[in-house]
Amino acid sequence: MVFRIWSHSYKEGDEMPNAQRYHGMGQNGGNLSPSLFWEDAPDNTKSFVITMYDPDAPTGSGWWHWVVVNISPNITHLVEGASSNKLLPEGAIEIRNDFGQKEYGGGAPPPGKPHRYIITIHALNIARIDVTPSSTPAFVGFNVHHHSLASAQLICHLKG
């Protein structure tokens, strides 16, 4: 068994649909977080963290679009639009993204080359990360690095 993640909003390698694109910065998208499903996490998983990151953003450090921490180990999916519709599981916390918002922020690349949007689910060996919605994605990443049991990724792209 391999820990894996998938979506009904798009498939691995697809172009990001308009529903998941940002509404602003040259995009007229729906800004809906994608549906996500995962299975076969390690048996000793105590929580999950979901991140969405664009390593191709012209910032020198990429762009964090979405960070959700403290997802219960008994959760195995999120519905499309869970972020904006406040349908995240009880206890889950959305961290401030690089748009400065505490919710999903869809793809919005500047004109030019295609950008990759990498959604990663991390299975952790701790029940919760001690953060607030104002914590940074880097702080979450530091904690994930030290407590990760396994991770799985789903990648789509969008041309700038």
Burial of 74 (0-12, 13-18, 19+ CB in 10 A): exposed
Give the number of C-alpha atoms closer than 13 A to the C-alpha of residue 123, restricted to the C-beta side.
20
pLDDT of residue 26: 83
Amino acid at 1: M
Q: Confirm if 73 and 107 have CB atoms less than 8 A apart.
A: no
Q: Where are the domains of the chain?
A: 4-159
pLDDT averaged per 10 residues, the chain (length 160): 96 98 92 98 98 96 97 98 94 96 96 96 98 96 97 96
What integer pLDDT is reported at residue 158 of this predicted model?
96
The candidate with the shortest Cα–Cα distance to 98, out of 82, 114, 109, is 109
pTM: 0.96
Predicted pLDDT at 32? 97
Model pLDDT, residue 25: 87
Q: Quick one: DSSP state of residue 19?
A: G
What's the confidence (pLDDT) of residue 1? 81
Model pLDDT, residue 160? 84
Architecture of domain 4-159: Alpha-Beta Complex (3.90)
Are the C-beta atoms of residues 108 and 25 closer than 8 Å to each other?
Answer: yes
Report percent pLDDT > 70 for the chain.
100
- What the block records as the tokens of 133 is 């919605």
